[in-house]
Structure 1
C-alpha cells in the first residue's frame, strides 16, 4: 500500500502515464528492483517511460514533490547504481531511435539501444562506438554513458567522455537541454543562467588552484570513474561543454540523458592474438607497461588464479595445469586495417619483446577459430569463479587503476591483501595496458561475521589504493554505492568540495539517485546488502548480472530470467521464515503467471549466462513438480492414444477453417475473444493465421539399388497442420520436404506407425515427464528400425523437435535438421537459382541453440537475392502451444517484427507453430525454409 508522498506522486503521474506502465504489486517491485550489484533495495513504485515528454513531466512532478527517482537502463551495473527504495524509472520499449551522420563519423543514439546494437548499425561503415564494456551485448547506451563504461580496447581515449559530441538531457526540475541546438542553449541560458555561471565559477576556482588542477589532470590520465568527471572543469571553458561532460559517468545523479551523439571510431577488420606466459605478476605488468608504446589494441592480464579457474575448459591451450603457482599471462591483441599492416604490427611487437624471458614460447595467430579460443580464457574467469562459489554467496567484482609504471607492485600488494583477509579464490585480471585491474571473489552477505570481514577488507583496500598509489578505486564500473563513502578519501577535501558543489548546483533538492556516487554515511557500502538465498540447484549459481535479459521473449511482458530467479529466491526465503504469510501467498500467486506460465522455456538465456544457468530448464522442472495427478493421467492417455488425438486435432482445425471461411475473420476474432474472456483466458485464442488440418502423407517409392537413403520423421506438428489462409502454396511441410529430397536423388524412408509417433517435447515442456519419456522411447525404437540401427541419417523438418530428439534419443542415430542436411548432403545434387525477391528469415531458438543460424542464412542467400534478418528477435515466443494459450507472449516478443519485414514478400523459418505467430505479427506469410529451397532448385 502506497503512502505519502509516493501515493501523491503515483496519482499525479497517472495524468500522463497509463496505469499499466506503473507497477505497485509486490512481485514486480521486488523483481524489477534487482540489478547486477550486491545491494537490495525494493522500490515503492516502478514506472516505465517511453519517451522524452514523459520523462520531462515525471521529473517535474518529482521535483515539486521532492520524491527521489532512480533511472534504470539494462540494470547490468555492478555497483548498485540502479536500485532504490523510492521510485525506479525504467527505460521502456521506446528509446530505440538512432541516426548515423555523414560518412558515419558520428552516430546519435537514444539510451534504450543495446551497445552491440549500435555497433551493428555502424558495421557496414567499418565503424563502431568507442566504449566496449564486457556487457556490451546486454547493457544500454544510457548505462554506458551514465557510468562512463570503457572496456578492453577503448582505454581513456575512446570512452564516452572523449567521444561525446552532444547530448539531450533532462535536468532535475524537468528542463530539457539539447547541447547541439543553439535555440535550446539560448533558452537554457535565459532560464538557468545560474547553472552556467556556477559551472564557470567552479572552473575558475580550480584553475586558480594549480595544485588541484594538476591533481585532476594527473588522476584522469588513467581510468577513473570515482566521483564526478570534474576533469570537465579543467578540460573545457564553454559551460555547456563542461555540463555535458560532467553528465558522463554521473550515474543518474545529475540528470537524465535522452540522447547522445558520439564520435565513432574505426573498427579494424584484421586481428591477431598471442597468449604470453611470464614468471610472475610483476613481470607481466612490466611487460604491459611496454605495450603502451606498441601497436597493441588490448593486453589482458590474467594471474595464476585466473588461469587455474578455467583449467580443463574444452578448446583451451594444453598444459595450463602444469604452470608454476606464480606464473601470470598476458593476452595481447593487435588490430589493423589490412593484412600487411597486421603483419607489420606483429613483427614490431615481437622485435620489442625479443629479450623478454617467457615461460613458454608463443606465437600470434590471426585465425579467428584459434584466437577465439584464447579469449575464452579471459571470458571464462567470471563464469568459472561464479560456478565454484558456495550456494548462498554473492560474487564481488571490483576494478581499480594505477599509474602504469607501478602496476606490477600494486598487483602484488593486491594479492597479499586477498590472502590477508582470507579470500583464497580471488583471480586478478584486467586491462593491463591501461593500468586497470579487476578482481573477483565470493562473499556471504547473510552472515554478520562475513559482512564484517568484507568491511575490513574494503577499509584496507581503499587505503592501499588511495594512500600508497593514489590510484582509482573505480576505474570503469562507476562509483555506485560501494565506493560512494570513500570518494573523499580518494580525492581529498578540495576536490570533494567541488563535487558537492556540482551536485548542489544541478540537483539542489537531492532527488536524483540519492546514496549513489556521494554518500556521507561511512557505513553506506555495507548497508542493504543482498544475500542470495538458496532456491534450487538449477539456478543457485545465478549472479543476477542480467546478461540474459536482452534475448528473453517475455522481457517486455512479465519477467526476465534474472527476475524469475530473484523472485523465486524470495519465495523460497519466505517459505522458511514466513510460511503461510499473506506476502508469500501474493508472490506465489503472481509467480504462477509471471514467472511460470509466460516463460517460453527456450533456454536462449543459457548461452548468455556467465554461470551457465538455464532458466528454461528450471521452469520446466517447476512445471514437472507442480503437474497434478489429473494432468499426468490425461497426458498418459493422450500418449497412449496419440494417433486418434492427432486425427481429432486435424479434424478440429479443418472444422474451424471451414467456419472461418463461412463466417469471416471479424466474426471469428470477436467470437474467440469473447470465448476466451468468459472462460477466464482458459480457452485458446483463435487467430487469422491458424492453419487447416494436415493431409495423409503419400509414402514415397523405395528403389532398392539407390545408396542414397534418408529416414524422414515428419513431426506431429507438421503432419497435422496444413497451410494457413495466407499461404499460396497449399502443400503441407512434409510434402515440400519429400519434394526436395527426391530432387536430390534420395530414397525417403518413413518410420512405421508414423501416426502414433511423437518426439515427446510437447509433454516435456509442460513437465509431464512420464508421457514424454514414453513417446521418446517409442520414437527411438521406430527410428532405429527405419535407419537400420543408425546406418541412414534421420531428418526432421521441425527444429524444436529435432533438438529435443538430439537431447533425448540414442546418440548412435544421426539426427539432422533440413538446413544442415541440404548444405552438407545435397549441395552437389541440387542446382540453386537465386530468386528475384526479398525474404525475411527467422532462426528459431532451437536453430540458435544448435548453432545453425549462420547456415540458415547461408542457405537462404543461396535461394533469394535479398535476405532480411530482423534485429533483436531471438525467440518468437510461440513456445509450443503458448501462442494459443498465452498469445500475449508471442505478441510481445514480435512487437518490432512487422516494421522490420515491411519490405519483404514472404518469410521463412523452421517450425510450423512459430510460423503462425510470425505470419500473424509480421504481416507476411511465413513458410518452412524447405519451401524456399524447393522453389529455388531443380
Structure 2
C-alpha cells in the first residue's frame, strides 16, 4: 500500500526536498541495517530537530502511518528497518553537556558512543554501556536497545546509569524529566497515562510470582521484550516511563536526549589468556572469577579459537590446543598500578586449583593487550570471511544462569552439530553467562529457511524454557525474537507488555512488529538477500561500522550503501531486469562521489575497501587510454599545462576579483558537470619549474627529497600570509637540521601514479610508480640514503609492496619524528593550531605521531571531531566540490579560534583552507617556525 496523499503533502511542506527520499536507489540504500532482514521504506526522512519529530509524529497519528526511528543502523535483530516511513537522524543531533567534572553527561541521540567517551576521557570517566559497535553505534540506539558489552555487565547498562531523559511520545507530546516545567505540564496533560502506569506497577509488584520472575530475568543480561523491571524498581510514574523507554527499540517513543551517570575509567589495566582443558573446567573458573576484581571475562570455545589461529600475531600454541579446550580472556583494571598488581595476584590465586592447558600471563603492555583482545574481536569477522557467497552471518546472543553455563555451552554445541552448523563458533561475556554464537546461513531456498527455523525453535526451548535464560542478552528483541517473547516470559508478562504498548502507542504506529508482534512467523519473513556482486565486497555483512569515517555519508551513499546498491544492480541484471536508470543514478551517488581513500577498510570487520570496488568500476569505464598513455609519457608537459591553468586562474582573479570569480567558476562547474574545476580563494598560485642544483660532495648526511608533483606545481594561495612554497620550506628545514638535500634526476617527469590510479588507469599508474622507484633507487645510491616525500598520499602509494626495492622511504611525519627531532630545538608557540590527519597518514599509522609533533610545536592543539577524511580526494575538490564541502561542513566552527591549520597533503590543504576559514599548511611550516638547529 502507498502512503496517504495527505500525509505526503504535509511532510513535503514540513521537510525540505533534499531531506526527503523516495527514489528506488535511496529507499533501498537506507532500508538496510546490520540485521539479516530487509524492508524497503516508502519514504525516508532525515530530521534535524525535535520540532520536526513532533510534527511528523502528529501527522503519522492523524493518518495512521507507521514510522521507525534510525540512528546508526548497526542493529542486529531487525529493529531499525521499515516498509513505511523511516526517520533517520541528521547532523544536528550531536549535542552534549558535561556536568560535575564528568560525573554526568547529557547527550543527544546522534552522538557516537566512542565520541561520548572521548569527551569524558580527560575526567577519567566513560559511559557505562560498552557495546562492540561503540565506534559506530549512536546513543539513540544504545539507549533504545539497552546495549551493554564486554565490561559493563548489568550494573552499568543504560537502564542502571540513567539520570534523566527527554522524550517524545507517539502523540507528539514532549517530556523532559530534568525540566520541572516540562514535568508539571506533562503531569497535567497526561495524568491518566501516569495513573495507569502507577496502577500497572502496583499490580505487578503485588503479583508475587510475576514480580519474582521479573527480578530473576533482570538478574541476567536480558533485552527480550519490554523493560518490565521498570514496574518493579520504581514507583514514581515518570521514573517508570523513562526506564520503560530504555530497551523499547523505538516502539514506545522517541528519545531526544539522555543523561548518564558516568562510571570510572581506570587507567591501569592488564589482560591474560588462560586455556583450560575442557568447557566444564573453564565455566567453573568463571564462577570463581565472578567474585574477583575483574572487569571483563570473555569465553572462547575451541571452534572460535580455531577460526583465528592462523592470523598474524596469534600465540603459536593456539594451533596445538586440544579439541575440547576452552579459554578465558581476563581483564582487570585499577586506579593505581600498585592496586592492579594486588588484584592480579588475587585473581591468579583464585585460579590456582584449576588445571590449565596453556596460558599467556597477565600483561600491562598496551600492544600485547591489543594482541590478546584481537583474538576475541577477530572471531566474528573470521566466520564472515570464510562464508559462502550468498549466505549471511548471523550472530545470536543468549544468557544462561552463570551457575549453569557449562552445561549450556555443551548443549549449544550439540545443537550446532544436530542442525549441521559445522562452522559455528561460540564466545561471550562469561561473567554474565552471556554467550554469542556465530554461524552462516543461506535464505535462498525453503529448505535453508526451514533449517534455520528448526534451529531457532530448539535454541528457544533450550535457553528460555529449560534454563530460564534470555534469548536476547544485549542485541535487542527486534523482529528476530518477537515471536518468542511469550515463550520466554509467559502469558502474564506478555499480556502486560502489550498493555504497556497500547497505553503508550494506542494506534500502533511506532515500529510495528518489533519487540511485540502478532505474527508468529515474523522472524522468517523479509529475509535479506546477499547476492554476489564482486569478490572485493562479497564478504560484506552490511554492519555499517564503515559509515562514521566516510566523507560522502549524508551527501550520497556510504560504503555499506554502495555495496547494497551494487548487489541489487547485479542481482537485477542476472534476473534480466532493466538497470539503466539505477546505474545512471549510481554513477553519481556511488562512483563519482566516492573519495576512494579506503578508510572504510580500517573500520570493516572483514577488511573490505569499498574504494577498491569504485576504482575497479572507474577502470571499466576508463576509455581515454591513449590520453592516459600520452600524459604518462609526457608528464613534464602535463605539469606545464597545470601551471598554465593556475596562471590563467590567477590572472582571472586579478581581473574579476576573488568573489566574482568564485561565483562564476561555481556556476561553470555545475553546468559542465565537474569538467570545469571550481575556483576558490584557497586555489594555489602556480609555482615555476624548479631548477635543481646537483649534489655537492660534502660531509653532511644526505637525504633524497621527493617533491610530489602537486608540490612542484602549486605555490601558496594569493591570500595566504605564508608565501614560501612547500618545496623551499622543506628544503630549508632539512638543511637547518644539517642535511644535504638531493633531488632525483628528471624530477618534473616523475609521478607516483596516484592521479592515474584514481581515474581507473591502473597500467599507466603502475608504469609511473616503477619509473619513480627506479629514479629514487639511483638518487639514493641504491637505498643508502633516506628518501623524504613531502606528501603523505604519494608516500602511501609508493610504500605498497616496497620491501623488495630496498628504499628507505618516509612521509613528513615519520621523517621528522625519527630524523629531525633530535637535531632541532623546539620552542612551542602560544597560538592554537588545528591538525588534520589525512587518510594516508592514518593508513601509514602516523596519526598519533602527527598530533604529538603538533603538540611539540604549539601549546594548544585542536583536532576537529568527526572529520576523518576531508573529501578533497586528489582532484575531487575541484571537480566534485560538494563532496569536499560536505565532509568539512563542521570544520569552520571547530577551528575558529586557531591561527593556522597543518596537514601533510597539499591538495587536502586547499579544501581545508577554503572551508576552515584559516590557512592550512604542511607540517614543515610549523616545525620550521618553532625550531632552531640544536647546538652540537
TM-score past 0.5 threshold: yes
Flag the 1:508–1:520 CA change in 2: closer, same or farther, 3 A. Answer: same
Is residue 2:260 matched to residue 1:265? no
Q: 2:586 aligns with which of 591, 608, 623?
A: 591
User: Is the alpha carbon distance of 1:103 and 1:833 closer, same or farther for their aligned partners in structure 2, counting shifts above 3 Å?
Assistant: closer
Cα deviation, 1:341-363, whole Å, max 9, x if unaligned, reads 10110111111111111112542
Residue 404 of structure 1 pairs with residue 365 of structure 2: no
Q: 1:690 corresponds to which residue?
A: 683
Separation in structure 1 between the aligned mates of residue 812 and residue 471 of structure 2, nearest angstrom? 54
Question: Counterparts of 1:678 and 1:295 in 2: how far apart (Å)?
Answer: 66
Number of corresponding residues: 931
- 2:302 corresponds to 1:308: no
Q: Tell me if structure 1 keeps the 8 A contact 2:669–2:879.
A: no
Counterpart CA distance in 1 for 2:131 and 2:855 is 33
Q: Deviations over 1:108-132 (max 9, x none)?
A: 0000000000001111100000000
Q: Partner residue of 1:863?
A: 857
Q: Which residue of 2 aligns with 1:529?
A: 527
Once the two structures are superposed, the pairs formed by residues 401-440 of structure 1 within 5 Å of their partners are 401-440=399-438
1:614 alignment counterpart: 609
Segment drifting more, 359-368 vs 478-487? 359-368
Aligned partner of 1:204 in structure 2 is 202
SS of residue matched to 2:388: coil
Between 1:277-286 and 1:33-42, the stretch displaced more is 277-286
- Stretches of structure 1 that go unaligned for 5 or more consecutive residues are none
- SS of the residue aligned with 1:428? strand
Distance 1:677 1:824, change over 3 A: closer
Q: Is the contact between residue 2 and residue 42 of structure 2 (CA under 8 Å) also seen in structure 1?
A: no
Q: Is the 8 A contact 1:627 1:768 kept in 2?
A: yes
Q: In the TM superposition, what is the alpha-carbon distance from 1:768 to its structure 2 partner?
A: 0.8
1:166–1:657 distance in 2 versus 1, CA, 3 Å:
same
Distance in 1, Cα, partners of 2:752 & 2:917: 31
Q: Which range moved further: 672-681 or 777-786?
A: 672-681
Q: Contact (CA 8 Å) 2:3, 2:84: kept in 1 or not?
A: no
DSSP 3-state at the match of 1:363? strand
SS in 2 for 1:48: strand
Which of 925, 932, 935 aligns to 1:931? It is 925
Question: Where does residue 442 of structure 2 map in the other structure?
Answer: 444
Alignment of 1:844-859 (within 5 A): 844-859=838-853
Secondary structure of 1:540's counterpart equals coil
2:663 maps to which of 670, 692, 695: 670
Give the corresponding residue for 1:768: 761
Once the two structures are TM-superposed, the CA of residue 176 in structure 1 deviates from its matched residue by: 0.5
1:910 pairs with 904, 910, 918, which one? 904
Distance 1:550 1:677, change over 3 A: closer
Matched ranges for 1:1-12 at <5 A: 4-12=2-10
1:340 and 1:746 map into 2 onto residues whose CA distance is 47
Conserved 8 A contact 1:757-1:778? yes
Q: In structure 2, what is the Cα distance between the partners aligned to 1:772 and 1:5? A: 51
Secondary structure, in 3 states, of the residue corresponding to 2:134? coil
Q: Residue 22 of structure 1: CA displacement?
A: 0.3
Q: Which secondary structure does the structure 2 equivalent of 1:429 belong to?
A: strand
Alignment of 1:273-672 (within 5 A): 273-579=271-577, 581=578, 584-628=579-623, 631-672=624-665
Per-residue deviation, 1:578:
2.7
**C-alpha deviation, 1:677, in angstroms:** 3.7
Deviation of the 1:199 alpha carbon: 0.8
2:787 equivalent to 1:789: no
**How far apart are 1:44 and its partner, in Å?**
0.1
Q: What is the rounded CA distance, in whole Å, between the counterparts of 1:749 and 1:361 in structure 2?
A: 52
Q: How far off is 1:4 after superposition?
A: 4.5
Task: Tell me how far apart the structure 2 counterparts of residues 725 and 292 of structure 1 sit (CA, whole Å).
Answer: 66
**Given the alignment of the two structures, is residue 53 of structure 1 paired with residue 51 of structure 2, yes or no?**
yes
CA distance in 2, matches of 1:138, 1:89: 18
Once the two structures are superposed, residues 257-279 of structure 1 have per-residue CA deviations (whole angstroms, 9 ceiling, x without a partner) of 00000101000000011101101
Distance 1:866 1:389 in 2: 48
Distance 1:342 1:228 in 2: 39
- Which residue matches 2:734? 741
The answer for the alignment partner of 2:224 in structure 1 is 226
2:667, 2:878 → 1: CA distance?
Answer: 15
Kept in 2, the 8 Å contact 1:465–1:473? The answer is: yes
8 Å contact kept, 2:3–2:42: no
Alignment partner of 1:98 out of 96, 99, 108 = 96
Contact 1:226–1:474 (CA under 8 A) maintained in structure 2: yes
CA distance in structure 2 between the partners assigned to 1:31 and 1:678 by the alignment: 28
* 1:674 positional shift: 2.7
TM-score normalised over the length of structure 1: 0.98
CA distance in structure 2 between the aligned counterparts of 1:202 and 1:673, rounded to whole angstroms: 62
Instruction: Write the deviation string for residues 710-735 of structure 1: whole angstroms up to 9, x where unpaired.
Output: 11111101100000123222111111
Deviations 1:12-65 (A, max 9, x none): 112221111000111010001100000010000100000111101011100111
- 2:695 aligned residue (695, 698, 702): 702
Could you tell me how far 1:931 is from its partner in structure 2?
A: 0.9
CA contact (8 A) 1:650 1:720 kept: yes
Return the offset for 1:557: 0.5
Q: Show structure 2 runs of 5+ residues with no match.
A: none
> Offset at 1:701?
5.8
C-alpha deviation, 1:707, in angstroms: 5.4
Partner of 2:821: 827
Once structures 1 and 2 are overlaid, which stretch shifts more, 250-259 or 834-843? 834-843
Q: Distance in 2 between matches of 1:918 and 1:86?
A: 40
Correspondence 1:31 to 2:29:
yes
Secondary structure of 2:830's counterpart equals strand
- Following the alignment from structure 2 to structure 1, what is the Cα–Cα distance between the partners of residues 584 and 349? 67
Contact 1:710 1:749 in 2 (8 A): yes
Equivalent position SS for 1:914: helix
1:212–1:392 Cα change, 3 Å: same
SS in 2 for 1:870: coil
Question: 1:6: how far off?
Answer: 4.1
* Mapped partners of 2:359, 2:883: distance in 1: 54
CA distance in 2, matches of 1:677, 1:209: 69
Residues 211 and 891 (structure 1), Cα distance of their counterparts in 2 relative to 1, 3 Å cut: same
Q: Please say if residues 428 and 439 of structure 1, whose CA atoms lie closer than 8 Å, have aligned partners that are also in contact.
A: yes
Distance 1:678 1:572 in 2: 31
Contact 1:695 1:732 in 2 (8 A): no
| CA–CA separation in structure 2 for the residues paired with 1:111 and 1:307 | 36
- Pairwise CA distance, 1:658: 2.4
Q: TM-score, normalised by structure 2?
A: 0.98
Cα offset, 1:280, TM superposition: 1.3
1:118 aligns to what? 116
Query: 3-state DSSP class of the match of 2:73?
Result: coil
Aligned to 1:813: 807
For the residues of structure 2 that align with 1:4 and 1:369, how far apart are their CA atoms? 55
What is the CA deviation profile of residues 406-458 of structure 1, one whole-angstrom value per residue up to 9, with x for unaligned ones? 01111110000011000001111000011111000010111221111001101
For 2:535 and 2:447, the matched residues in 1 are separated by: 25
CA offsets 1:906-927 (integer angstroms, 9 cap, x no match): 0000111100000011000000
Does 1:71 find its partner at 2:65?
Answer: no
Q: Does the Cα contact within 8 Å between 2:113 and 2:136 map onto a contact in 1? A: yes
Please tell me whether the aligned partners of residues 276 and 358 of structure 1 are also in contact (alpha carbons under 8 angstroms).
Answer: yes
> C-alpha distance in 2, partners of 1:769/1:317?
38
| Structure 2 residue 672 is the aligned partner of structure 1 residue 679 | yes
1:749 is displaced (CA, Å) by: 1.2
**Residue in structure 2 matched with residue 188 of structure 1 by the alignment:** 186
Structure 1 residue 303, shift from structure 2 partner: 0.4
3-state DSSP of counterpart to 1:837 = coil
Contact 1:700 1:748 in 2 (8 A): no
Using the alignment, how far apart are the partners of 2:805 and 2:95 within structure 1? Answer: 47
In 1, the alpha carbon distance for the partners of 2:391 and 2:818 equals 47
* 1:700 positional shift: 4.6
